[in-house]
Amino acid sequence: MSVDDKPLNFLEQIIKKDLEEGVHQKLITRFPPEPNGYLHIGHAKSICLNFGLAETFGGECNLRFDDTNPAKEEMEYVEAIEKDVRWLGFQWAGEVRYASSYFDSLYEWAVHLVKHGKAYVCELSADEARKYRGTLTEAGQNSPYRDRPVEESLDLLERMKTGGFDEGSKALRAKIDMAHGNMNMRDPILYRIRKQAHHQTGDKWCIYPTYDFAHGQEDAIENITHSICTLEFADHRPLYDWFIENLPVPSRPRQYEFGRLNLNYTVTSKRKLKQLVDEGHVSGWDDPRMPTIAGYRRRGYTPASIRKFCDMIGVTKSDGVVDVAMLEHAIRDDLDKNAPRAMCVLRPLKVVLSNYTGTEMLTAAGHPNRDDLASRQLAFGAEIYIDKADFREEANKKYKRLVIGKRVRLRNAYVIEADEVLKNEAGEITEVKARVIENTLGKDPEDGVKAKGVIHWVAAHDCAEFTVNLYDRLFTDAAPDAGGKDFLSCLNPESLLVLEGCKGEKSLLNAEPGQGFQFEREGYFCRDEKSESLQFNRTISLRDSWAKIENK
């Protein structure tokens, strides 16, 4: 679909107009994550937006790491972010870029501001600077160091750069307006002293630029035409523009803001996500319960489903909360259409077919609506496993599964009838004895007594055994961190249930890491990509069980 064949969101309208009027000859966007954690679902929206706009308008999108805070940044995060972007199906223009690659230019521009009387070295402590800054209703006060001579500030800045002062003792600040109605314009900090090695530049620097100072200048160096940010940066735009106007930058990018993605039943604060990891509430950043792209990938979500979800929610100028059920619908819809089918018994109960001897191979479709997915061969024998929930000794008419004296069809196989059960000393059923109704492979019973329902099964003599991890939503509260709530108190104690000894089709032994399936009648699952043993993670149930809870 071309840009002219669909309704345009407000950003597309701006870009289309700029290109048609010759304001820009080519669209250049950027995705600028800070490598201080793994990317989450909110970042996925930004990735899809920035790279998607470049694709739509025949432009380019840069991947740039805004690595201005070495205290919180690691190469692990850099590598994870690159993997996430590629996995979503996007490729950045040229080489990966880093803010740290521009540190020399940024420092020269800081010196430029000092020389032109638009920046100064301040020696207020953090507490003092906070008091001088004022409030939303009261103007701030000028720092006592604001009018120090230019040469003095230049000397102090150089000594800051060469490690001559302790952390926190001095900072370089822009000289704008301490009475400005926008707090971001009240002499913001440009450089802080941080005597910490950087993952890209090593020990070269002991002062680092703030994001606000670096952001616009990086855009200008890269000739970004449309710098697209989430809405919380709207108040920073005047500062972004101030730097562009007061520095000899090579181009003049413009910043635009869109509403960020907020999901219910989800926390996307990097600080809180890191807390979940550090305190062991989850197994890591890629735990399948985490709202990180890595977590969704390991859980079995597909790039297409996440891109479809981002397209469904659209692009707006205001923040809002999106129902996580929309994301879950996107993955259900994708896997329903594309995931090959298999049978897996999560809680096995042995059934012995007393009148069946030998073994045979039966054929089942790889997918009910996909001829391109190969059919599967199912072993069948005198002993099979069914799920414990699919058998009762007695049941009412609403129960459509196996009952003593009643019949049920084994999916893709025969009709059977249950005769008796064996129990252990605790009274628990350990085995069901049943009979195959003859001539019912693909046919109804000749005696006219039909099966009450259809259940799944696997052959006991030829099956795979593995662990299944039943993942669910991480939080029970729709707004786990709203209103000062302790989000940890909202953790779902049933977000992970581990089932050992599950039985599945033999072919599942050959499943590739990350490969997804529909386990018939159970849900969508994928082979865990990290476990050394054979494990399958539940991606999503067949139906939305949370809707029933929420509607009660």
* 34 carries an active-site annotation: yes
Q: In what order do the strands lie in the sheet with 28-31?
A: 28-31, 60-65, 97-98
CA dist., res. 190 & res. 106, Å (int)? 10
| Neighbour-count burial of 494, counting CB atoms closer than 10 A to its CB (0-12 exposed, 13-18 middle, 19+ buried) | exposed
Residue 491's alpha-carbon distances to 12, 40, 273, 285, 401, in angstroms, are 39, 18, 12, 16, 35
| Nearest partner of 207 among 323, 310, 89, 111, judged by Cα | 111
Exactly one of 260, 272, 347, 370 is catalytic; which is it? 260
CA dist., res. 324 & res. 333, Å (int)? 14
| Nearest partner of 479 among 267, 326, 274, judged by Cα | 267
Exactly one of 12, 16, 34, 274 is catalytic; which is it? 34
Q: Which residues of 469-478 are buried (b: 16+ CB within 10 A; e: fewer)?
A: bbbbbbbbbb
* 328 carries an active-site annotation: no
Q: Is 109 strand, coil or helix?
A: helix
* 270 carries an active-site annotation: yes
Exactly one of 30, 64, 161, 270 is catalytic; which is it? 270
Residues 6+ apart with CB under 8 A from 55: none
Instruction: Specify whether the CB–CB gap between 186 and 133 falls below 8 A.
Output: yes
DSSP state of 298: H
Catalytic residue list: 34, 260, 270
